[in-house]
Amino acid sequence: MAIDLARVRADTPGLSHVLHLNNAGAALPPSVVTEAVIGHLRREAEIGGYEAAEEAEGLLERSYDAVAQLLNCHREEVAVVENATRAWDMAFYAFPFRPGDRILTGKAEYASNYISFLQVARRTGAVVEAIEDDEYGQISVAALERAIDKRVKLIALTHVPTNGGLINPAAEVGRVAKAAGIPFLLDACQSAGQLPLDVEGIGCDMLSATGRKFLRGPRAIGFLYVRRDLIEKLEPPFLDLHAATWTGPDRYEIRRDARRFENWEVNFAGKIGLGVAIEYALEQGLHAIAARVQKLAAELRELLTAIPGVTVRDKGRDRCGIVTFTAERMPAEELQTALARRRINTSLTTTSSTLLDMTERHLTAMVRASVHYYNSEEELERFAAALADLICVP
């Protein structure tokens, strides 16, 4: 079923204030999400934080079901944490790497992940290797296959990089990982909410994502999936009294479900908001969302390509809702600021987020315009006209 544009726009009050093409930064939430978050904060103020959490237990638990439905996994395989970075960290830092172990990743890997690879490599003597791209600019699955040997202990890949429209072939990577018996950690931070995600179909063993981006949830809430048979093999880098039970003066027991990767204190309103946001996305249908996002992004790429001096920089065989570009006549920083002055939200993507890919392409900064299903064709035309006007195309 196609998206009911009039309805989803009516559900999104932010659209009457801004032209929002920063959905890969943080998308505009539907009213139901804002109301759920504010409603819980109000209850905390009225009856007390602990009491409000107890009262909302059903809603809080529903968030796990929502994540499980979104990913096609079991609720016991889900941890809800502060953000995608912490979700990813809790899985990655749980691996006991040794000298000579190899970690394979891609060229467009996100900075926070890569910094963690480097830290762990320094600490343990493991090595991190970025597999080359194929002719489309996505990870080369053939090169990945060639790189596999007994020393490879983890494949960790970003599904949709922060700096462009590329969709990495996660399911093909999953097949390689499975055939070799190597754990596969997928960073789905930029794909959750804009593409269907099925951990069985993809074949990943761990997946991290955030609420505020394409899922349209609140900020500072994210989640981690860990495959059931891996949970008890991974000892979280941090434990607290929620993740484990203190069973004797010198003993503790770690939980057996994925909540061992959580900690006790959490943004309860955010957790409720995350569940409501996912339920809203599921109601629209992830296939319908993906189809509309990809159609809008293709239209936007066409509009931008038609503006003299503008270069669309997206790579990949399959492309998503993130559209990146540069303009000959104006540096990306200036352009993004000038657009913001016209209440047009985009973001800036720079070398510091994806150093390997940006350096290889001799790029330092690009403007990132990311569409969501609630954007209209008219908004895209208005955006392209404003851009042409700013860079003085007659």
Ligand X SMILES: Cc1ncc(COP(=O)(O)O)c(C=O)c1O
Footprint of ligand X (CB under 6 A): 83-85, 110, 112, 158, 162, 187, 189-190, 210, 222
Tell me the C-alpha distance between 336 and 324, whole Å.
12
Query: Minimum CB separation from ligand X for residue 353, in Å?
Result: 7
Query: Minimum CB separation from ligand X for residue 136, in Å?
Result: 19
Q: Which lies closer to ligand X via its Cβ, residue 52 or residue 274?
A: 274
Q: Which lies closer to ligand X via its Cβ, residue 213 or residue 255?
A: 213
Q: Which lies closer to ligand X via its Cβ, residue 108 or residue 303?
A: 108
Q: Which lies closer to ligand X via its Cβ, residue 219 or residue 342?
A: 219
Query: Minimum CB separation from ligand X for residue 109, in Å?
Result: 8
Query: Minimum CB separation from ligand X for residue 112, in Å?
Result: 6
Q: Which lies closer to ligand X via its Cβ, residue 190 or residue 324?
A: 190
Query: Minimum CB separation from ligand X for residue 189, in Å?
Result: 4
Q: Which lies closer to ligand X via its Cβ, residue 209 or residue 344?
A: 209
Query: Minimum CB separation from ligand X for residue 220, in Å?
Result: 8
Query: Minimum CB separation from ligand X for residue 125, in Å?
Result: 26
Q: Which lies closer to ligand X via its Cβ, residue 111 or residue 147?
A: 111
Given the structure tokens 């404003």, which residue do they identify? 386
